[in-house]
């Protein structure tokens, strides 16, 4: 192959109590990256669309190409590549936009150059790309986007990725209000230390959420989807957060919380019809606080990136 086009999915991270350790992939939205071989022996970004001119064309500053450069350096490969990045979701949306682009680039180069590296080997390069945007090494967006499914990151030193079994009838409703919250800024408002009582409650909810998924226990999922670390602070950045969450719960959502650092919010349900009803209620509630918003309904994407 001389060129390749890859889709990489958006992701919901944190998932309530799973701050920096849980995330799952969606079927929509996502980003697309095209990688073409070049005779110029350098990495260059030739086009970016969907970003309104906000993302850097400098390959040393863009999440897609930083991840690619990390991969090529690690494999001791010198090759010329031309990169096109097509953003299909909002920047600063809380849906893993930077992670999707990083994963798409690394996955594309691995396939284009027939490197045959495993996801475990690719992950650190995706995280290197993600670091450019978030200024933190976390995998709760890049790991779901790369592996697909619901991911638990048990530890970071060394990184330990675990795929969690899920109920087959789990649906996710997503509301994306038309505001931007930068991950690096949203991390700054969090407290560096927490009380022991808070840590115990967070650990209990995290364990309960995982067990609920594995046992198809939706009542356990509902009462475990509570975040004591980030939600109390980050919810204040989202106009109408409480009203939107109440709207979702009032029409049958299992529970509702922030995805990543926001402003997007997600709610679980057990059927597509319920998911559509919930997302309409969330959108109606949000319309009183923001001029425009986008909505998505998706089952959990079990496969991750794909070659288009």
Nearby residues of 244 by Cβ (< 8 Å), 6 or more positions away? 175, 238, 256, 265, 282, 285, 286
Out of 63, 64, 65, 130, the active site residue is 130
Q: Does 130 qualify as catalytic in the annotation?
A: yes
* 127-150 residues labelled b (16+ CB within 10 A) or e (exposed): bbbbbbbbeeebbbbbbbbbbbbb
The contacts of residue 155 (CB under 8 Å, 6+ apart) are none
Annotated catalytic residue 219: no
Residue tagged active-site, from 63, 64, 65, 183? 183
- CA triple 119-264-172, angle to 5 deg: 65
Nearest partner of 206 among 11, 22, 4, 69, judged by Cα: 22
CB 120 within 8 A of CB 161: yes
Q: How many helices (H) and strands (E) does the chain have?
A: 10, 11
Distance of CA 87 to the CA centre of its chain: 14
Annotated catalytic residues are 130, 183
């Amino acid at each position: 192959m001389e060129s390749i086009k890859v889709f990489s999915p958006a992701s919901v991270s944190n998932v309530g109590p799973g701050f920096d350790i849980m995330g799952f992939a969606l079927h929509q939205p996502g980003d697309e990256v095209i990688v073409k071989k070049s005779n110029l022996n350098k990495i260059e970004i030739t086009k970016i669309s969907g970003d309104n001119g906000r993302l850097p064309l400098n390959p040393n500053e863009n999440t897609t190409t930083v991840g690619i450069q990390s991969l090529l350096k690690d494999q001791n490969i010198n090759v010329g590549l031309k990169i096109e990045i097509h953003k299909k979701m909002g920047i600063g949306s809380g849906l893993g936009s930077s992670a999707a682009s990083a994963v798409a680039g690394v996955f594309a180069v691995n396939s284009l150059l027939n490197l045959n590296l495993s996801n475990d080997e690719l992950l650190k390069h995706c995280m290197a790309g993600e670091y450019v945007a978030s200024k933190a090494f976390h995998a709760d967006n890049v790991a779901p986007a790369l592996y697909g499914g619901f991911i638990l990151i048990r530890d970071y030193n060394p990184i330990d990725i675990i795929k969690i079994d899920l109920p087959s009838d789990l649906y996710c409703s997503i509301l994306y209000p038309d505001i931007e919250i930068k991950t690096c800024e949203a991390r700054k408002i969090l407290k560096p230390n927490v009380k022991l009582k808070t840590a115990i409650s967070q650990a209990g909810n995290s364990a309960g959420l995982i067990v609920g998924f594995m046992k198809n226990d939706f009542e356990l999922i509902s009462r475990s989807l509570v975040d004591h670390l980030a939600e109390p602070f980050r919810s204040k950045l989202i106009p109408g957060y409480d009203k939107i969450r109440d709207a979702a719960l009032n029409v049958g959502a299992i529970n509702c919380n922030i995805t990543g650092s926001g402003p997007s919010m997600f709610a679980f349900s057990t059927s597509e019809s319920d998911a559509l009803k919930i997302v309409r209620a969330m959108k109606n509630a949000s319309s009183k606080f923001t001029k425009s918003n986008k909505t998505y309904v998706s089952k959990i994407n079990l496969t991750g990136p794909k070659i288009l």
